[in-house]
Amino acid sequence: MTDQIAILVEHDFHDLEFWYPYYRLLEADYRPLVVAPVAPRAYTGKYGTHIEATYSPSSLSREEVMAVVIPGGMAPDKLRLSPDIVSLVKDVYQGGGLIAAICHAGSLLVSAGILKGKRVTSYPSIRDDMILAGGHWVDEAVVVSQRIITSRRPADLPYFAKAILKELA
């Protein structure tokens, strides 16, 4: 099995929600790949962090990616406009991979059409979107449901990262 995890970025990604899982994955000997709609290209986070995306969805084989991690911020609203990014999330999930989304990243899961019948959480402002997409929304720090991990906000990052590593193991 591969050790590659796609972490999605677009401009205005939430810096902490990117870097916290990124370094936790590195510590656990996984290989996080920075993926964006257009790559190679530099992207700037909500708080000014710059990251170079080295992969686009078309440069990856879906079979080589065991999971997708989606940070929040304003990036998910931009990511969901990319048909290639939406397809990557859907294809990895349908291929048996893990999908992890925190804060506003649940909006990308809505676009990927993978929430029906799942227990989920998110930042409260997208709760209705997730419910309308068929998810059962709950207000908890982290929710794991059928290979989908969701969390509400940056304060939940320790629980989010722990759940990702547990599910990958």
104 belongs to the catalytic site: yes
Burial of residue 119 (number of CB atoms within 10 Å: 0-12, 13-18, 19+): middle
| Crossing angle for the helix pair 157-168 and 15-27, to the nearest 10 degrees | 40
Can you point out the beta strands (E) in the chain? Answer: 4-8, 31-35, 41-44, 50-53, 65-70, 98-102, 119-120, 136-137, 142-145, 148-151
Q: What span, in angstroms and rounded, lies between the C-alpha atoms of 19 and 23? A: 6
Q: Single out the catalytic residue among 11, 14, 104, 136.
A: 104
Q: Which of 11, 50, 103, 136 is catalytic?
A: 103
CB 90 within 8 A of CB 148: no
Phi-psi region of 160 (alpha: psi -120 to 50; beta: other; left: phi over 0): alpha
Q: 14 an active-site residue?
A: no
Q: With the C-alpha atoms ordered 54, 58, 64, 67, is the resulting torsion angle positive or negative?
A: positive
Residue 102 has which token pair? 């925190």
The catalytic residues are: 103-104
